[in-house]
Chain A
Amino acid sequence: MTQYHTINSRAPRIDAPDKASGKAQFIDDLNMSDQLHGAILQSPLAHARIVKIDTSRARKLPGVKAVVTAEDAGLVQYGVSPARYDETLFCHDKVRYIGDEIAAVAAVDRETALAAVSLIDVEYEELPLLLSVEEAMKEGAPLIHEDYPGNICAEVHQEFGDVEAALAECDIVRTDTFMNKMQNCAFLEPQGCIGHYDHRGYLTLYSSTQTPHYVQRTVAMTLKMPIGKVRVVKPYVGGGFGAKASANAMEMVACLLSMKTGKPVKMVFTREQVFLQARGRHKFVHTLTTGAKKDGTVVALKHNCILEGGAYASFGIATVYYAGSLLGGPYKLQHMKYDAYRVYTNKPACGAQRGHGGVIARAAWEQQLDVIAEELGMDPVEFRFKNMMNNGDTSCNDLYMSSFGMRECVEAVRDKSGWERKRGTLPRGKGIGMACGFFVSGAGFPIYRSETFHCTATVKLSEDGGAAHLYTASAEIGQGSDTTFAMITAEALGVPLNAVKVSSGDTDFGVDLGAYSSRQTLMTGFAVKHAAEDAKRQVLEVLADKLRISVSDIDVKDGTVIFKGPGITFRTIRNRYRKEHRGWTDMPDDAPLSFAEAARLAFIVKGTVIGQGEYRPRWLGGKFKGAAVGTSPAYGCSAQVVELRVDMETGQITIDNMTDAHDCGFAINRTSVEGQMQGSLLMGLGEALFEEVKFDQKGRMLNPNFGEYKIPTALDMPNVTPIIVESNEPYGPYGAKEVGEGAIMPTIPAILNALYDATGIRFHELPLTPERVYKAIKEKQCEAKAERGRK
């Protein structure tokens, strides 16, 4: 095994001391001199025609500097995927959900801006509300968007193999329907931004975003600016989980207001606005028909899905594909058919959330597989061994498993959790369950069709050679990417971690598609590794030349130059370095030649040493429609065992133990990998047990706050036993691939399967609130009573 000096360790994160001491600056911590404050008028109605907007009273309020509406903003359509641009900066003809943006104000302070917003008079003509997919898909239902008949935002129809024929051959065929509710990413930091249009006509947007690159493109497009004049800078970001992965209206509004006023304009969402901006998990209804042979081989899957999307497409077109294309894995499956619709309703738009598209489908199917295993009399673990893909397999929809530690994951959780000892022995009210997961490690294509590099990275050595500075436009949003890339730079360059400085999250630093689809470690990491290797090569070439040896005779490790041959003397280099740095501390004397000395030499010979790296996936995927969604340079997989307790009288569930194994290819930072696993499990637990965005009959959100939208507290979350599986991904840097999203996949189904073990009841609707669980237990008891009565 290769010996690494930095990666694969538990190095503390480079941003942790600043965060621990309160110095790290998030968007709301930034202020610019002479800045104005913005506020947005959002629709109080879920579906209405705008008859008239009168801003005159707002304009007259002292302290107001600008009031803008669609008239000022224009009607350029934007969205996430160019195939579904369906938003304009402000509503001009109608509003489609409570929260839709109508106008905005810039004023001297927030209080004035909010007061001005309340002085904007809008006359509406109410339209019929469509608050469910049933209403929206009904014959003759009014259209939320004129261009989308039937209120269908997107549909997918795919078939691989011949599902009907295969099902006919199966020994067991089961159909189940499963659904969740709309969810929220519920990161702790509300979105915020500062737009600053300067006197030269350059626009800088500071924003709490996961994707500076896409925001830059969207802002440039909607405000009709050249890309080169728009810069997006991301300060520290307090979590994103998907909802911050695309441009939001506030960002464009702040820029527009700055263009109008010539001053920086700041805006920050309230928590309620975070909920209205939404863009979290869709509500999915999955109907799955799975066929298997007596021996346990799963043969065919027929999958229908309806997604309630809310008022705009957002990521929806990708979501609707992901929900189907990622389901087959991690299993061998010859036949798969998928038909799905994403439907518009008058609610806030849904988008991407950790485990994009796949989480609810996975929950539904892993539970169904458990049912089938039981009907066949097989242990769920054995059943999964029987069906799982291996290294080098390709799924029926052309997804290639270049590395795949599925078996190791299942074995690990089985052994660590005591599965064999506990399974089938727990008393009523206690249960143990397991499930597997599968996810992409970066999307094969950018969201817009292009052959662009997905990322570029630059490593610049300081002129004294002592420091390496990595520039990347990637987005540290809390997941630890800056640390990962610093570690990769240190390893690839051969210097200690504290010699590496990272500047990231700025579109001026290069191109990077950002933090979504679990892409950065593999993709950006790849580019960073190459940039560091490039810089190292340049230094070693100069050194080799000076010493008249071959580059292959030297290497660098942990800041020291290693000569492979004997008798190489570097006295002249050292003497020169010492003379140049008279009076400096930490002068090298007897020590071996340092990388800093070599890098200094390289600077003197050839000027600034700049290493460059970039990444673009190899060509991926099949030729069928939608093949692009779901392809990835690599796939992560995971397995989990959950133990829980149910209060059979109240329906309350307590999760006692979670054992989780994840194949991340190779752990660049072991602590960070575990942290992603533990955090993913928390979100999965919350979604399984508590989380649901609720609406009333007017389309008003009932719980846009942390009091009533319940995410797990420290008392709800148990300890997790995290197990890192490393399958060495050939296409990833040092073998690394994803962990950030895939880890959430097995959580919900493992809970469902454990709940069945505890109660003997299968649940087909989330969240598993005490009331839902209690009702099911009660029904079952009534049935049992009636049964006994009949006998």
Chain B
Amino acid sequence: MLIPRFEYHKPSTLKEACEIKGKFKGKAQLLAGGTDIIPNMKKRIILPDSLISLNGISELKSNSVSGKNRCARIGACATVSSLIRGKFLLPYSALLTGLESLGSPLIRNMATIGGNLATARPAADLSPSLIAYKGKAILCSVAGKREVSLDDFFLGPGKTILNDDEILAEIILDELPACTGSGYIKLGTRKALEISLVNVAAVIALEKPDGVIAGARIVMGAVGPIPLRATTAENLLMGEKPSDGLFAEAGKAAAEDSRPIDDFRGSAEYRRDMVRVITVRALQKALHDIR
């Protein structure tokens, strides 16, 4: 399988990258880990005139935990396995589970977190938890930076709010408040090398240890054009004490919130039923994570 010809650019600073991207706009694609774009170019699904490699830009790879609210700043080009190894994401267990279940070790060593978000695959493994954590993205262009909530980042399959001249530079996760836990469940057929049939990330915060639920975010993947919030389910949880019965109700509500379609990987009906099942499990995991 040959890759169609293209022009190659390898800037060494983010600024330079923004300039090149600004010049070529939609005719240029960014190259991070390449695990998504290279197969797509081989299959001739994406045929850019130019590729701008982000791999010479060290600032895109750096991660830090800083600021007074100790938020985690993740460089868009951090690879999945570097994030697993890095330990600083340990509190974010739903994200960690997603990172660990992405593709295979070979893919994890190449794939980047930024690439995962930017491709906007409805079944992607990292977006649900990042949204559930109220993650933010820093987008850069020649004109400057803007910070957006990941809640607003996705527009449709393969579509994000990134403008033609913009680069995703950083992902920011606030420090998790006390009594907060998270869980992620991916449902697939095989135990590795698997794209989610359905996935659910849940974050819940208790008012105090053993108290009522003071915050809940549930995000579902592969059951809509973009990762979906299960808002009815979230509302149902608020102010309640966690219990099996409550979670079961939340699972049902989440299933109602989902908008799956039939495709060759599975039916809408199955996906909806699975949202119900794995939402419960993700919530249980989240609760467990608090303890």
Contact = CB atoms under 8 A, between A and B. Distances in A.
Given A110-B2, A114-B2, A716-B191, A694 B273 contact: no
Contact of A713 (B190, B270, B278): B190
Given A702-B264, A771-B267, A650 B191 contact: no
For the complex of A and B, list the 8 residue pairs with the smallest distance between their C-beta atoms, beginning with the closest: A715-B191, A713-B192, A771-B270, A649-B277, A702-B264, A715-B192, A694-B264, A716-B191
Interface string B258-284: 000000111100100110011000000
Contacts, number: 55
A769 interface: yes
A707 B187 contact: no
A385 interface: no
A713 B274 CA distance: 23
Interface in A757-776: 769-771, 774-775
B193 interface: yes
A696 B2 CA distance: 26
Nearest to A694: B264
A31 interface: no
B237 interface: no
A436 to B, nearest CB: 28
Contacts of B191: 713, 715-716
21 contacts: A110-B2, A270-B1, A649-B277, A650-B187, A650-B278, A652-B187, A689-B189, A703-B264, A706-B193, A707-B195, A712-B190, A713-B104, A713-B191, A713-B193, A715-B190, A715-B191, A715-B192, A716-B192, A770-B270, A775-B270, A778-B273
Interface of B: 1-2, 104, 187, 189-195, 197, 264-267, 270, 273-274, 277-278
A707 B270 contact: no
B189 A770 contact: yes
A111 B2 contact: yes
Given A710-B190, A770-B189, A771-B270, 9 more contacts: A111-B2, A696-B264, A708-B265, A713-B104, A716-B191, A716-B192, A774-B270, A774-B273, A775-B270
B213 to A, nearest CB: 23
Interface residues of A, number: 28
Nearest to A770: B189
Contacts of A778: 273
Instruction: Name the residue among A114, A707, A771 with the largest chain B CB count within 10 angstroms.
Output: A771
Interface of A: 110-111, 114, 270, 649-650, 652, 689-690, 694, 696, 702-703, 706-708, 710, 712-716, 769-771, 774-775, 778
B189 A690 contact: yes
Contact of B190 (A270, A690, A702): A690
B187 A770 contact: yes
A706 B193 CA distance: 9
Contacts of B267: 771
Given A649-B277, A774-B270, A710 B264 contact: no
Contacts of B278: 650
A603 B273 CA distance: 78
A712 B194 CA distance: 11
Nearest to B185: A650
Nearest to A772: B270
B190 A716 contact: yes
B264 to A, nearest CB: 5
Contacts of A649: 277
Secondary structure type dominating chain A contacts: loop
A702 B264 CA distance: 8
B266 A771 contact: yes
A650 B277 contact: yes
Nearest to B277: A649
Contacts of A714: 192
B261 to A, nearest CB: 14
Contacts of A270: 1
Nearest to A695: B264
A774 B271 CA distance: 11
Contacts of B277: 649-650
A570 B273 CA distance: 85
A712 B191 CA distance: 8
Contacts of B104: 713
A650 B266 CA distance: 13
Nearest to A653: B189
A708 B195 CA distance: 9
B280 to A, nearest CB: 9
Contacts of A696: 264
A647 to B, nearest CB: 9
Contacts of A769: 189, 266
Nearest to A769: B189
A690 to B, nearest CB: 6
Nearest to A715: B191
Contacts of B1: 270
Contact of A710 (B189, B270, B273, B274): B189
Nearest to A111: B2
A715 B274 CA distance: 22
Contacts of A652: 187, 189
B89 to A, nearest CB: 23
Contacts of A694: 264
B21 to A, nearest CB: 28
Contacts of B195: 707
Q: Which of A649, A706, A708 has the most CB of B within 10 A?
A: A649
B265 to A, nearest CB: 8
A707 B2 contact: no
A242 to B, nearest CB: 23
A270 B194 CA distance: 21
Contacts of B192: 713-716
A492 to B, nearest CB: 45
A778 B269 CA distance: 12
A771 B270 CA distance: 6
Nearest to A114: B2
A111 B3 CA distance: 10
A270 B265 CA distance: 23
Contacts of A708: 264-265
A703 B266 CA distance: 13
A270 to B, nearest CB: 5
A774 B277 CA distance: 11
Contacts of B266: 769, 771
A343 B267 CA distance: 29
